[in-house]
Structures are given as structure tokens and as C-alpha cells.
Chain A
Amino acid sequence: MNSSIFKKIMVATDGSELTKKAVDSAIEITKLNEAKLYAVHVVAPGDFAITQNEPRDAEWKKEIKEHLTTQGKEATAYVENVGKAANIEVESVILEGNPADEIVDFAEKNEIDLIVMGTLGKTGIKRFLLGSVAENVVRHSKKAVLVVRRD
């Protein structure tokens, strides 16, 4: 019997403690559906621009980007490891740009059936119930979105 409803699932991770529950949920849903899981991290170097186009900015930005990419790879590697333990197929993807836009675009282009994400991560401010990235994905994606809150 194959009654799975989601064939391709993606989990957006920023590697923070807060997205771990989203990862757990994504893994469980992937397992139940015998689906494929994409672990997606979006590098957003724009957030870290501190000066306005001074000559040394280029060097600074390059280093920041490298650092963020390394962090992103750690975040997706975490999903791969948890996935491996659960015996599911995980593909890591690193994107660059505005996180919400990239998540929505990726889901569209790759015909993702379900987007799983946490409510707030690194950019989160506790008083907001819904992180801005999650909010924008929910608003703009045509795909099903599961927002996982932490306990």
C-alpha cells in the first residue's frame, strides 16, 4: 500500500537549537511517507553588511560568506546524520539570498510537496510568535507548510 501524500519534503534549517524540533518532525513525516527529504540552508550574507561599500568590504564580505556557508553545511549535515539514523534519503542544499524567497523558490522549482520549518531561529525575537522567515514562507508559498514550534 502506498498511501503517501508527500513525496518530496524539504526542511529549512538555520542550524540553531530551535530548528531541531522542525528537523525531527520533518524526519518523522518523511519516514511515514517514504519520501525524499531535502535539507535546505540559506546563506544570507546581506544581513551582515556593516559598512557601505568601502574598499575593504569585499574581503570582509567574502570571509563572512565563507563562514556562513561552513555553518550552513554543518546545519544540513546535522539533518543528514539524523536522517541516516532514521534510514531515510536526505539531500543537502545550500542556497544564497533572502531566506524566505529562496525557500519559496526552491520548493516551487523542485516540486516540493511540504515545507517544514521552525518558527524562529537565529534572527528570532522571542516576543514574535511567528518568525519573519516562517511568516513570509507561509504567506507566499503555494506549497503546504508546516511550522514547528518549540516546546
Chain B
Amino acid sequence: MGIVDFKKIRIATDGSTCSELAADKGIAFARLSGGTVYAVHVLSKAYLSAMDESAYSAVGTNPYWESIKEAFQKHWH
């Protein structure tokens, strides 16, 4: 094993098509290296403050969570 072993891979996603492509690569890569994926989505403060409590509860959960899970399941059945 080399000095670099890619055991921890952070995937930053905003749920867009582009970040899904990145997530696909990241997950497939983690599978090869035997690493762990840390999926991260950042809710920007500006975005949150623009939504009041009721608007946020209407959304329910993070709308991007499904796409992260989907990408994950595609590679790890």
C-alpha cells in the first residue's frame, strides 16, 4: 500500500446533475480503494434565512437526500 490510500472520500453534493456525476465517480472510486464515503451537503445560510420555518417544514427533508442515496445504491447493492 502506498503513502496515499484514499480511505476517506468526501463527496460534496448540491443535488445537481453535475454533482451527481461527481458522486458517481467518488463512490465508484471509494469502492475500488475500499474507502468510506462522507456525503456532504451544505445548506447555505442565505438560503435558509430566506425561508421561514413553515416553508422549511413544507419541504420536509433535504430534497437532495434521495439523489445521494440513489447514487449510493447504484454502486453498493
Contacts and interface: CB of A to CB of B under 8 A. Distances in A.
Interface of A: 3-5, 21, 24-25, 27-29, 31-33, 86, 144
A28 B29 contact: no
Interface residues of B, number: 11
A27 B28 CA distance: 18
Where chain A touches its partner, the secondary structure class is helix
B50 to A, nearest CB: 30
Given A4-B32, A5-B29, A21-B4, 5 more contacts: A5-B28, A29-B6, A31-B2, A32-B6, A32-B32
Interface of B: 2-6, 25, 28-29, 31-33
Chief secondary structure at chain B's binding surface: helix
Interface-centre pick from A4, A24, A31, A32 (highest chain B CB count, 10 A): A32
B32 to A, nearest CB: 4
A86 B2 CA distance: 9
A4 B6 CA distance: 15
A144 B31 CA distance: 18
